[in-house]
Amino acid sequence: VAVTLADIVAITGGKLLGNEHHCVTEVSDLDNANADSLCFISDRVLLEQLRNTTAGAVILTEDLSADCPVNAIIVDNPQLAYARAASLIYPFTPSSNGIHETAILGSNCQLGQNVTVAAHAVIHDSAVIGDESYIGPSCLVGADVTIGKRCRLLGNVTVDGRSTIGDDVTLHPGVIIGSDGFGFARDGEEWVKIPQAGRVVLGSNVDIGANSTVDRGTIHDTVIGNGVKIDNQVHVAHNVRIGANTIIAGCAGIAGSVTIGKNCMIGGGVGIVDHVTIADGTVLSAMTFVSSSLKQAGFYSSGMPAQENRQWRKNMIRLARLDDMARDLKKLLSGFRKE
């Protein structure tokens, strides 16, 4: 939608050099921008592009403003200001309003003001949905689930297991919250299911990406703190606890009863074994395997970078007897020292 630069200044707190009545209707990079475009620049590498841009407006830091040939909005953190400004240009637009005639509501549901329940959604008994929340097409909300205000369940989302969800939470398509944890007791060769009686408790301002899953706890709850951001196809097992503002990239798998601190950054494809603890502020690079607790905040890694296949084959044969190599080396070293 069309947004004036005055509106952008209001939401970003920036200082405008230019025409506050100018409207932008889209975002762009500096190269492809036209008078309707909003851009941002946070890296001097793009200085040449800035000088030549024909954008409607550019969000930038003070030091770059002299090089901006068009309307400039000066802020401390251009990316952050851009995120806020772009949210004005691309507001969330629900697919429908009110309760769609094909939606199914159970008994004793409590729906707040201006709740949307889209086509073919199913809300079971005693669910509570807060003001302004949007339940997208074909979503399933289980019995006794509580969903806060201004939440968005975008489509084909399932929330079950009496889970409770805070305010301003976005669940992308295919997300499943509150499915059973994976717990079985052995009976000879067979496995007997351990009923999963806990909930999922999601804080506020949580985002969970497409097809990610969060299992309910066994006895206690699975707890995800405020401001946690989870990417697509992430698996969060039962009894996991994730601290506020931790961010988890795609395809990560978090096994049962893991505790992750706040302000962590978990890379894509990371695997964390069950029952370990990860300190606040820990950073894990992509495809790291965490097999024991990381009690000191730090930057940890373990993925093996790609090698040319023939070299890799040779190296892996050696790796399989690395312990022997180390012993041989030790032997040599002790001999060497004796000399």
Q: Tell me which residues are annotated as active site.
A: 238
Does residue 161 sit in helix, strand or coil? Answer: coil
> How far is it, in rounded angstroms, from Cα 94 to Cα 116?
8
Euclidean distance between CA atoms 82 and 51, whole angstroms: 19
Instruction: Candidates 21, 45, 305, 338: give the one binding a copy of itself (CB under 8 A).
Output: 305
CB nearer to a copy of itself: pick between 129 and 249:
249
Which is it for strands 277-278 and 259-260: parallel, antiparallel or unpaired? Answer: parallel
Residues from 280 through 299 that contact a copy of itself (CB under 8 A):
283-292, 294, 298-299
Only segment of 1-9, 16-24, 46-54, 259-267 that touches a copy of itself (CB under 8 A): 259-267
* Tokens describing residue 39: 């851009």
Residue 19 or 119 with smaller CB distance to a copy of itself: 119
Query: Looking only at residues 115 through 144 of this chain, which bind a copy of itself when binding is defined by CB under 8 A?
Result: 118-120, 122, 124, 136-138, 140, 142-143
The answer to the question of residue 155 lying near a copy of itself (CB under 8 A) is yes
Q: Report the candidate in 119, 173, 120, 110 with the shortest Cα–Cα distance to residue 146.
A: 110
Q: Does the footprint of a copy of itself cover residue 1 (CB under 8 A)?
A: no
Record the tokens describing residue 173, joined without a space.
């398509």
- Binding to a copy of itself (CB under 8 A) within 213-242 occurs at 213, 215, 219-220, 227, 229, 231-233, 235, 237
Give residues 15-74 in contact with a copy of itself (rule: CB under 8 A). Answer: 26-29
Nearer to a copy of itself, 5 or 157 (CB): 157
Q: Which is nearer to a copy of itself, 53 or 288 (CB)?
A: 288
CB 73: neighbour CB atoms within 10 A? 27
| Amino acid occupying residue 218 | T
Cβ neighbors of 70 (< 8 A, separation 6 or more) are 18, 53, 54, 55, 56, 57, 58
Q: Which of residues 174-213 bind a copy of itself (CB under 8 A)?
A: 174, 176, 179-180, 182, 184-187, 189-195, 197, 205, 207, 209-211, 213
Distance between start and end Cα atoms, the chain = 80
Contact between 300 and a copy of itself (CB under 8 A)? yes
